[in-house]
Amino acid sequence: MSVLLEGSTTSATMRRNFWRGVWRVMRRKPSRLAGAVILLGFAVMAVFGPMFYPEHLPRDLAAGVYAQPSAEHWFGTDGQGRDVVALVVTGSRYVLLSALVTAVVTVVLGAAIGLFAGFRRGRWDTALMRLTDMKLTIPGLPLLLVLSTIWKFGSAVEMGLLLGLLGWGAVARAVRAQTLSLRERGFIEAARGLGLSTTHIVGKELLPSMAPYVAMNMLIAVTGAVYAQVGLFFLGVLPYEADNWGVMLNLAVFGGGAMTTTAALPYMLAPLLAILLLTLGIVLVVDAMDEIFNPRLREE
């Protein structure tokens, strides 16, 4: 939610405040540490996990299809007799890579446009904000549905790129508002008065003070991206990839009868739990960041 930045701080004091904030939050709410651990775990899983499995996941013919959870298969097997955990791990790469691309595109575009509009003001500001308004007006998921018919989303990067291109509006608007508010406080004029260049003002003064806000938005963008792409695959409007969380959900519900019998239930629950866990991790970290950077939430 709204993070209001208090006054201007130089980067040195900021850094000190930051670590003090981290320390305070971690001491007061150790559960927040869990969030960071979860996110780290997912990152490791997406980067290194698939390396532990062969290119084509083997079938366990002895266990059979939709096998129930066992020591060997924690979440049973899928409709082909493949290990569900292995599918979740190998599938995490697509999901997280595209989420990362989305987050980067969202934040870079959003921050750049927001900064530019807020800094320049005037005609540029009006034009860019009209564009942003328009983007925010076009409903995201319905647009994705329509786009899914012409775009095949073969790679995770493509998918992430598209989601990012559709999603920068909110960040841009918020960053612009922040820039304007900093500007109103005479922040920029003061820097100008000191003879600092525009690059310096933007790069050294404006951006750092907005960094935590931008980072939080990045994490929120990650949840949004995971939500959207897994959902599209779940709806079955996209060509499927054998090991993708959304495809797993789709196959479990519409092919395996996970809503009907318990046989395919573990197959459905595994990606659901992965999504839940990832969301929980992000929520905890965002909450911690909120506490660190939003002084009004501090209880001192």
Angle in degrees, CA 212, 10, 36, rounded to 5: 25
Determine contact, residues 53/90, Cβ cutoff 8 Å: yes
What are the strands, taking DSSP E only, across 10-111? none
Nearer to another protein, 190 or 297 (CB): 297
Q: Which of 14, 33, 145, 180 binds another protein (CB under 8 A)?
A: 145
3-state helix, strand, coil in the chain (%, to 5): 70, 0, 25
Q: How far apart are the first and last CA of the chain?
A: 21
Biggest CA-to-CA distance, the chain:
76
Q: Which residues contact 48 (CB under 8 A, 6 or more apart)?
A: none
Report 65-124 residues binding another protein (CB under 8 A): 65-66, 79-80
Nearer to another protein, 11 or 261 (CB): 261
Q: Which of 7, 139, 193, 195 binds another protein (CB under 8 A)?
A: 139
Nearer to another protein, 201 or 247 (CB): 247
Is residue 182 within the footprint of another protein (CB under 8 A)? Answer: no
Count of residues that bind another protein according to CB under 8 A: 69
Site string (29-68) toward another protein, x via CB under 8 A:
x-x------------------------x--x-----xx--
Nearer to another protein, 147 or 196 (CB): 147
Determine contact, residues 75/272, Cβ cutoff 8 Å: no
Q: Which of 42, 168, 234, 293 binds another protein (CB under 8 A)?
A: 234
Report 243-272 residues binding another protein (CB under 8 A): 249, 251, 253-261, 263-265, 268, 272
DSSP state of 64: -
Q: Report d(CA 136, CA 229) in Å as an integer.
A: 19
Distance between alpha carbon 274 and the CA centroid of its chain, in Å?
14
- What is the closest distance, in whole angstroms, from the C-beta atom of residue 236 to another protein in the complex? 5
Q: Per CB under 8 A, which region of 87-95, 105-113, 139-147, 183-191 contacts another protein? A: 139-147
Q: Is residue 77 classed as helix, strand or coil in its secondary structure?
A: strand
Rg for the chain, CA atoms, rounded: 22
Here the tokens at position 291 are 């506490």
Is residue 296 within the footprint of another protein (CB under 8 A)? Answer: yes
Nearer to another protein, 67 or 201 (CB): 67
What single letter denotes the amino acid at residue 167? G
What single letter denotes the amino acid at residue 271? P
Nearer to another protein, 46 or 232 (CB): 232
Nearer to another protein, 191 or 285 (CB): 285
Element at 57 (helix H, strand E): none
Q: Report d(CA 173, CA 182) in Å as an integer.
A: 14
Q: Per CB under 8 A, which region of 105-113, 162-170, 202-210, 233-241 contacts another protein? A: 233-241
Give the interface with another protein as residue ranges (CB under 8 A). 1-2, 4, 29, 31, 56, 59, 65-66, 79-80, 130, 133-134, 137-139, 141-143, 145-150, 152, 220, 223, 226-227, 230-231, 234-240, 242, 249, 251, 253-261, 263-265, 268, 272, 275-276, 279-280, 282-284, 286-287, 296-297, 299
